[in-house]
Amino acid sequence: MATFLFAGLVLHDLPAWIVTRRILPPGGTIAFTLFGAGLVASQQAGMNLSTRPRAVRVAVNVTYIVTCTGLMLVIARRLATT
Protein backbone atom coordinates (compact mmCIF):
# COMPACT_ATOMS: atom_id res chain seq x y z
CA MET A 1 0.00 0.00 0.00
CA ALA A 2 2.88 2.38 0.71
CA THR A 3 4.03 2.11 -2.89
CA PHE A 4 0.56 2.94 -4.17
CA LEU A 5 0.22 5.90 -1.79
CA PHE A 6 3.65 7.18 -2.82
CA ALA A 7 2.81 6.87 -6.51
CA GLY A 8 -0.50 8.67 -6.08
CA LEU A 9 0.77 11.53 -3.95
CA VAL A 10 4.37 12.11 -5.03
CA LEU A 11 4.20 11.08 -8.68
CA HIS A 12 0.73 12.38 -9.54
CA ASP A 13 -0.83 14.84 -7.10
CA LEU A 14 2.24 16.88 -6.14
CA PRO A 15 3.27 17.50 -9.77
CA ALA A 16 -0.33 18.47 -10.62
CA TRP A 17 -0.41 20.91 -7.70
CA ILE A 18 2.92 22.42 -8.75
CA VAL A 19 1.89 22.81 -12.38
CA THR A 20 -1.53 24.32 -11.56
CA ARG A 21 -0.14 26.30 -8.59
CA ARG A 22 -3.10 25.33 -6.45
CA ILE A 23 -4.19 22.46 -4.25
CA LEU A 24 -6.65 20.20 -6.03
CA PRO A 25 -8.48 17.20 -4.61
CA PRO A 26 -5.93 14.37 -4.33
CA GLY A 27 -7.29 12.32 -7.23
CA GLY A 28 -4.06 10.43 -7.83
CA THR A 29 -3.74 9.44 -4.20
CA ILE A 30 -7.37 8.34 -4.06
CA ALA A 31 -7.12 6.32 -7.28
CA PHE A 32 -3.87 4.62 -6.32
CA THR A 33 -5.21 3.82 -2.85
CA LEU A 34 -8.17 2.13 -4.51
CA PHE A 35 -5.81 0.26 -6.86
CA GLY A 36 -3.80 -0.93 -3.85
CA ALA A 37 -6.93 -1.94 -1.95
CA GLY A 38 -8.05 -3.97 -4.97
CA LEU A 39 -4.68 -5.69 -5.12
CA VAL A 40 -4.75 -6.56 -1.42
CA ALA A 41 -8.34 -7.81 -1.67
CA SER A 42 -7.58 -9.97 -4.71
CA GLN A 43 -4.55 -11.47 -2.98
CA GLN A 44 -6.56 -12.21 0.17
CA ALA A 45 -9.26 -13.85 -1.96
CA GLY A 46 -6.66 -15.98 -3.74
CA MET A 47 -7.62 -14.56 -7.14
CA ASN A 48 -5.44 -15.93 -9.94
CA LEU A 49 -6.31 -15.14 -13.54
CA SER A 50 -3.15 -16.60 -15.06
CA THR A 51 -4.96 -19.66 -16.38
CA ARG A 52 -7.80 -17.66 -17.91
CA PRO A 53 -7.85 -16.61 -21.56
CA ARG A 54 -6.21 -13.29 -22.41
CA ALA A 55 -9.57 -11.67 -23.23
CA VAL A 56 -10.88 -12.48 -19.74
CA ARG A 57 -7.76 -11.07 -18.07
CA VAL A 58 -7.98 -7.89 -20.14
CA ALA A 59 -11.69 -7.47 -19.38
CA VAL A 60 -11.16 -7.93 -15.64
CA ASN A 61 -8.24 -5.48 -15.54
CA VAL A 62 -10.02 -2.83 -17.63
CA THR A 63 -13.11 -3.15 -15.43
CA TYR A 64 -10.92 -2.80 -12.32
CA ILE A 65 -9.20 0.34 -13.61
CA VAL A 66 -12.44 1.95 -14.84
CA THR A 67 -14.21 1.20 -11.55
CA CYS A 68 -11.38 2.61 -9.42
CA THR A 69 -11.15 5.70 -11.61
CA GLY A 70 -14.91 6.24 -11.44
CA LEU A 71 -14.90 5.92 -7.66
CA MET A 72 -11.98 8.37 -7.49
CA LEU A 73 -13.95 10.92 -9.52
CA VAL A 74 -16.96 10.60 -7.21
CA ILE A 75 -14.81 10.96 -4.10
CA ALA A 76 -12.74 13.85 -5.52
CA ARG A 77 -15.87 15.75 -6.58
CA ARG A 78 -17.34 15.36 -3.12
CA LEU A 79 -14.10 16.58 -1.54
CA ALA A 80 -14.08 19.57 -3.90
CA THR A 81 -17.56 20.67 -2.83
CA THR A 82 -16.93 20.46 0.92
What are the CA-CA distances from residue 52 to residues 9, 17, 19, 40 (Å)? 33, 41, 42, 20
pTM: 0.87
Average pLDDT over residues 52-76: 97
Domain of residue 50: give its range.
2-81
* pLDDT value for 43: 95
> Distance (Å, rounded) from C-alpha 54 to C-alpha 27?
30
Instruction: Tell whether the model's pLDDT for residue 81 goes beyond 90.
Output: no
What domain count does the chain have?
1
Average pLDDT over the chain, rounded to whole? Answer: 95
Sign of the CA dihedral with 11 first, then 13, 17, and 19 last: positive
C-alpha span between 14 and 38 (Å, rounded): 23
**pLDDT at 73 (0 to 100):** 96
